[in-house]
């Protein structure tokens, strides 16, 4: 089942409009980060910056299994509490929210326990490795009236936001196709597949730009170096309105790319999602388009904090990187891998 219906969550939105005052979090908001490895350190650093700008945000604690990661947070970021115990985090009533930066296979259990203990949650992508588990988390957050967000960071990329605005203005004319290139030179990874590793962001950006999900997905993938694990995949997404989207993901390209192209009847644009540079094409000429870079991580964290403060839990039309979006991305990953294995187009239902 593909979760396109938002009716249940919109009912929640309407019911809670009159309850807004009692849902607001007043005073300081204490955040704990679970997992402070490579990406978790970046998240911790941004929360530290945020807390200096806003005294009502407090990076209260970090949790990790490695001493060196905890020591970094203590010495470099002066985070007051460090622990190896998830139980300490969950049972501490001082902690309002958690940001989960652990390996993907741990996301479901950690998210579930955090929500059960009344913590607001943001979790890095992919939300889970199983779409049924993902929707269980969405339902649990709904029942608990808690915010559940997913780290679909490119929704906060200024270049992607500008492209979305141009699409809404009709700047491209009729949109024919979109292309996403997510590549890097990396060795085959034990316990990780190319689809789960690189496809979540392209799928999410595609939804963000179109406000829709494809109705068919086809994937062809190949293994090259060791012949066992796919290292390059080409994914085609078909939409009812005749739009085609192509996603290329690869661990073999020495050029690290995070690129989006949009082709319309009137204009074309190419976006470098890392530099946030936008190149347009019109009247047989390429040109640079003006854009102000955003701090995507900082903006994402600020957005999560504001969602918690305003208690916009499960208000799908407001919380733009909500758990329902995350669950649908996981479902698309599953269908893509199914298409790859079965060598056929899979309907998205």
Spatial separation of the C-alpha atoms in residues 65 and 35, rounded to whole Å: 8
3-state class (DSSP) for residue 227: coil
Tokens of 42: 């970046």
CATH numbers and ranges of domains, the chain: 7-153+297-322 (3.40.50.720), 158-290 (3.30.360.10)
Q: Are strands 232-238 and 216-222 parallel, antiparallel or unpaired?
A: antiparallel
Q: CA angle, corner 125, sides to 345 and 150, nearest 5? A: 110
Residue 281 CB burial class (10 angstroms; 0-12, 13-18, ≥19): middle
Q: Give the per-residue pLDDT at 2.
A: 62
**Which of 59, 103, 101, 96 minimizes the C-alpha distance to 81?**
59
Q: CA angle, corner 90, sides to 84 and 93, nearest 5? A: 120
Spatial separation of the C-alpha atoms in residues 238 and 139, rounded to whole Å: 29
Q: Give the per-residue pLDDT at 312.
A: 46
Q: Give the per-residue pLDDT at 97.
A: 97
**Which of 281, 292, 288 minimizes the C-alpha distance to 159?**
292
Q: Give the per-residue pLDDT at 228.
A: 76
Do 114 and 92 touch, CB atoms closer than 8 A? no
Spatial separation of the C-alpha atoms in residues 247 and 56, rounded to whole Å: 41
Q: Give the per-residue pLDDT at 155.
A: 97
The residues of the chain scoring below 70 in pLDDT are 1-26, 227, 311-318
In sequence order, the β-bridge partners of residue 248 are: 181, 234
pTM of the model: 0.91
Q: Give the per-residue pLDDT at 318.
A: 57
């Amino acid at each position: 089942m593909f979760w396109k219906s938002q009716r249940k969550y919109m009912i929640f939105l309407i019911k809670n409009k009159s309850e807004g005052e009692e849902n607001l979090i007043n005073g300081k908001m204490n955040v704990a980060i679970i997992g402070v490895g490579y990406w978790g350190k970046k998240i911790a650093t941004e929360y530290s910056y945020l807390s200096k700008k806003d005294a009502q945000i407090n990076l209260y604690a970090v949790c990790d299994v490695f001493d060196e990661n905890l020591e970094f947070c203590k010495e470099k970021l002066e985070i007051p509490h460090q622990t190896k115990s998830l139980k300490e985090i969950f049972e501490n009533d001082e902690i309002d929210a958690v940001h989960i930066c652990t390996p993907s296979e741990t996301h479901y259990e950690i998210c579930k326990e955090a929500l059960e203990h009344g913590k607001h949650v943001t979790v890095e992508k992919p939300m889970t490795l199983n779409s049924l588990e993902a929707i269980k988390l969405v339902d649990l957050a709904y029942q608990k009236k808690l915010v559940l967000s997913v780290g679909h960071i490119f929704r906060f990329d200024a270049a992607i936001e500008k492209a979305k605005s141009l699409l809404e203005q009709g700047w491209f004319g009729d949109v024919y196709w979109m292309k996403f290139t997510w590549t890097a030179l990396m060795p085959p990874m034990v316990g990780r597949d190319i689809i789960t590793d690189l496809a979540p962001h392209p799928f999410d950006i595609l939804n963000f730009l179109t406000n829709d999900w494809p109705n068919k997905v086809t994937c062809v993938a190949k293994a090259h170096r060791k012949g066992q694990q796919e290292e390059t995949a080409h994914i085609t997404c078909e939409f009812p309105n005749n739009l085609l989207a192509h996603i290329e993901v690869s661990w073999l390209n020495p050029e690290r790319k995070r690129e989006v192209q949009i082709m319309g009847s009137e204009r074309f644009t190419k976006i470098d999602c890392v530099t946030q540079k936008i190149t347009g094409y019109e009247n047989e000429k390429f040109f640079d388009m003006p854009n102000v870079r955003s701090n995507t991580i900082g903006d994402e964290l600020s957005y999560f904090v504001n969602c918690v403060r305003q208690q916009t839990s499960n208000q799908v039309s407001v919380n733009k990187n909500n758990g329902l979006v995350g669950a649908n991305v996981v479902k698309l990953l599953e269908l893509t891998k199914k298409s790859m294995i079965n060598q056929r187009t899979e309907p998205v239902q």
